[in-house]
Structures are given as structure tokens and as C-alpha cells.
Amino acid sequence: MKKNVGGLDQGIRITLGPMLVVAAVGSLLGKLRLGSAATAAAFAVGAILTATGLTQTCPANSVMGRDTYRPSDDLTEEAQQIRERAVQ
């Protein structure tokens, strides 16, 4: 699938997604008082936002013809090599 998530859109997804997942887990552990529907919704939406932000692809954006991705949003080749060496 073609990349269609970038810039501010990607930043919001990567920030808000994990926050919603943490809130859902907090609810499951009894630390937050959310209803079961709100907990399930927070977990599902948070997981989707995180996944689409990290992969930079969103099927809903494709259906709506929305594209916030710009090639400059990617790491430079040198930065990718440094990241690959760090992971090894």
C-alpha cells in the first residue's frame, strides 16, 4: 500500500494512539473508571492510530483520497543506515 500518512498527521497518530492504549489498559487494571465500551473503543482506536502512524499508511485515507505524506517525511539514507546498525 502507498504511504499516505506523514507530517503532523503522523505525529498526532503516534502520540495519541499509545495514550489511548495506556488509558484502556489502565481501565482494565482498575486504575481508571471507564465503561467497558469506552475501554474497548480506546484500545481499538489507539491501536489503529499507532499502527497507521508507524506504517505511514491508512486505508481510510486512501478511500477518502487524503494524502498527508511527503517524501521528505522519510529518513535520509544515511539516517536509515545508522538506525539499522543500532538495531543489530
| Distance from C-alpha of 42 to C-alpha of 48, rounded to nearest angstrom | 10
The whole model's pTM is what?
0.79
- 68 neighbors 6 (Cβ within 8 angstroms): yes
Q: At what angle do helices 36-55 and 7-28 cross, to 10 degrees?
A: 150
Q: Name the domain count of the chain.
A: 1
pLDDT band at 72 (very low <50, low <70, confident <90, very high): confident
Residue 50, in any domain of the structure:
yes
Q: How confident is the model at residue 70 (pLDDT cuts 50, 70, 90)?
A: confident
> Does some domain include residue 2?
no
Average pLDDT, the chain: 90
Confidence at residue 83, expressed as pLDDT on a 0 to 100 scale: 67
pLDDT at 61 over 90: yes
Give pLDDT, residue 74. Answer: 66
In a domain, 75, yes or no: yes
Question: What is the mean predicted confidence (pLDDT) over 68-85?
Answer: 74
The amino acid at residue 29 is L
For residue 55, the enclosing domain spans 7-87
